[in-house]
Structure 1
Amino acid sequence: MPIEIEQFMCRSDNFGVLLHDTESGETALVDAPEERAILEAVARTGWQPTVILTTHHHGDHVEANLALKERYGLKIIGPRSEAAKIPGIDEQVDDGGSFDFAGHRVDVIETPGHTAGHVCYHFPDDKIAFTGDTLFALGCGRLFERKAPDMFASLEKLTAALPLDTSIHCGHEYTQANARFALTVDPTNSALKTRAEEIDALRADNRPTLPTTMALEMATNPFLRWHDPVIRRNLGMESASDVEVFAEIRKRKDIF
């Protein structure tokens, strides 16, 4: 049975996501940014969460862990290397591991950069991935606990692991700001210009910009396009290494 998805806003710009398997009745929550918004989503859908899939330890992703665990008795899954920082964690997962959610295979992809042990969750048979604060629509996470080469390697790993038709859900509604930045380094990209206009229209109507797809990100996200000769020329880095180009784009975004 396909997974049903309820995406909703938490806090000021976090996304919450409920995943529901209609056959078993099991429901997973990807991260737990805010108890109130999550309880409203549960009431709206009638889907009581049985497990939380934690991408990383930051407070805006684990704030409601303990309250939800007390309320529902759910299981909390998260990265082994950040287990000490994840409230209520029950099951620790590692890079390259897999587990089962209601008959759906879930692959764990460790993507250090934003945090030292961040993980993404890929449902290969359902063509869905949850990339937390590693890969955003038209962006990538800030480098708080690792350096640019680590995030570069993590993004390379995602491009290799996720087919182009994968539906991507990430942790924040940052897409409009990311589009404005992307146009400063890739201003002649027609696909990017069209996408930026579509994003402006969505946000003007208070609609979300997610999910995206891996194909769309490969075509328009500058943080995945370090190889593109036009971007390299715009940066004056035609002969630089891929990781040097990525690091420069991340540096420019930090001060944008």
Structure 2
Amino acid sequence: MQILHIPCLEDNYSYMIIDEATKDAAVVDPVEPHKILSVAQENGANLKLVLTTHHHWDHAGGNEKIKQLIPEIKIYGGAVDNVKGCTEKVENGDRFSLGADINILSLHTPCHTKGHICYYVTAKEGDDPAVFTGDTLFVAGCGRFFEGTAENMYQSLCVTLGSLPKPTRVYCGHEYTVKNLQFALTVEPDNGKISQKLAWAEQKRKSDLPTIPSTIDEELETNPFMRVDLPELQEKVGCKSPVEAMKEIRQRKDNWRG
């Protein structure tokens, strides 16, 4: 399984997942279709699937164009998310495959949008699994609660994504890592793992390199939104439950000017 980063717009990422045995490929949130097609050509990949995480234009806005360019392509999206160009509506637990070796599991992760889907991708041989999290989980952060509640985000982040195997690689929709880690330090100033990762992320960005992927394990150590089950974190933000802490930290982030 090969995964390629494709920077789009100002700070978005699309991703291409290539089954190395067959060269069949899926693309996640192909907002700039011509860029996607040129990457496919460069890598000898046959585009078969679009995996749309949610309906916002900077993720789903290229779907109709890519369908024009590749009429037989299948476009996946959340059943309740009204995704443009969608041909295959998916719900939590739906499974499908790519090429000879790759399996894809749909995870319903509502909050940023009601029908947001994360895609958990596994290969038969060797590679660590990967999850494509759109705007639900960012490196050291999470999406705004546009269509849901703190309870929804707690379930999506801490229960659904938090229960994936720890080595799972996390590929998110935006390059927000440096700002997210700077904010995370305001919540847990004594968390050395956040400080270390911030220094690493700043070096990456100075070299114009992506800070993605992270792993579920790293997120459980450095992402305040995935640490709300910890009594010591709840205490730091003056809360008595994980959901209350989730709400409080999101409000702080929304008001933070880093």
Same fold (TM > 0.5): yes
Distance 1:199 1:151 in 2: 25
Residues 177-216 of structure 1: pairs in structure 2 closer than 5 A = 177-216=179-218
1:91-129 Cα distance to aligned partner (Å, 9 max, x none): 111111211222322111100000001011112445111
- Whether the 8 Å CA contact 2:111–2:146 is kept in 1: the answer is yes
Aligned match of 2:77: 78
Determine if the alignment matches structure 1 residue 32 to structure 2 residue 30: yes
- The residue identity in structure 2 corresponding to 1:251 is Q
Determine if the alignment matches structure 1 residue 87 to structure 2 residue 84: yes
Distance 1:56 1:21 in 2: 24
1:194-233 Cα distance to aligned partner (Å, 9 max, x none): 0010011111111100011011000100000113344233
SS of residue in 2 equivalent to 1:184: helix
Displacement of 1:80 after TM fit? 1.0
Q: 1:13 is matched with which residue: 11, 32, 35? A: 11
SS of residue in 2 equivalent to 1:215: helix
1:65-85 Cα distance to aligned partner (Å, 9 max, x none): 111111122111111112xx2
Range 209-218 or range 222-231, more displaced: 222-231
Aligned match of 1:141: 143
Q: From the superposition, tell whether residues 161 and 99 of structure 1 become closer, same or farther in structure 2 (CA, over 3 Å).
A: farther
Q: 2:97 is matched with which residue: 92, 95, 100? A: 100
- Whether the 8 Å CA contact 1:48–1:72 is kept in 2: the answer is no
User: Which ranges of structure 1 fall in alignment gaps of 5 or more residues?
Assistant: none
Determine if the alignment matches structure 1 residue 69 to structure 2 residue 67: yes
- Whether the 8 Å CA contact 2:170–2:215 is kept in 1: the answer is yes
- Whether the 8 Å CA contact 1:148–1:247 is kept in 2: the answer is yes
- Whether the 8 Å CA contact 1:137–1:170 is kept in 2: the answer is yes
Displacement of 1:160 after TM fit? 4.5
Q: 1:55 is matched with which residue: 30, 53, 56? A: 53
- Whether the 8 Å CA contact 1:186–1:230 is kept in 2: the answer is no
Q: 2:2 is matched with which residue: 1, 4, 7? A: 4
- Whether the 8 Å CA contact 1:34–1:60 is kept in 2: the answer is no
Displacement of 1:183 after TM fit? 0.5
Determine if the alignment matches structure 1 residue 247 to structure 2 residue 247: yes
- Whether the 8 Å CA contact 2:162–2:216 is kept in 1: the answer is no
Q: Which one has the bigger helix percentage?
A: 1
- Whether the 8 Å CA contact 2:234–2:241 is kept in 1: the answer is no
Displacement of 1:12 after TM fit? 0.3
1:44-95 Cα distance to aligned partner (Å, 9 max, x none): 323241110111111001111111111122111111112xx22221111111
Q: 2:131 is matched with which residue: 116, 126, 129? A: 129
SS of residue in 2 equivalent to 1:149: helix
Range 86-95 or range 207-216, more displaced: 86-95
Range 160-169 or range 114-123, more displaced: 160-169
Distance 2:245 2:162 in 1: 19
CA RMSD of aligned residues (A): 1.4
SS of residue in 1 equivalent to 2:167: coil
Q: From the superposition, tell whether residues 210 and 111 of structure 1 become closer, same or farther in structure 2 (CA, over 3 Å).
A: same
- Whether the 8 Å CA contact 1:9–1:37 is kept in 2: the answer is no
- The residue identity in structure 1 corresponding to 2:74 is K
What's the TM-score, normalizing by structure 2? Answer: 0.92
- The residue identity in structure 1 corresponding to 2:200 is E
Q: From the superposition, tell whether residues 159 and 65 of structure 1 become closer, same or farther in structure 2 (CA, over 3 Å).
A: closer
SS of residue in 2 equivalent to 1:49: strand
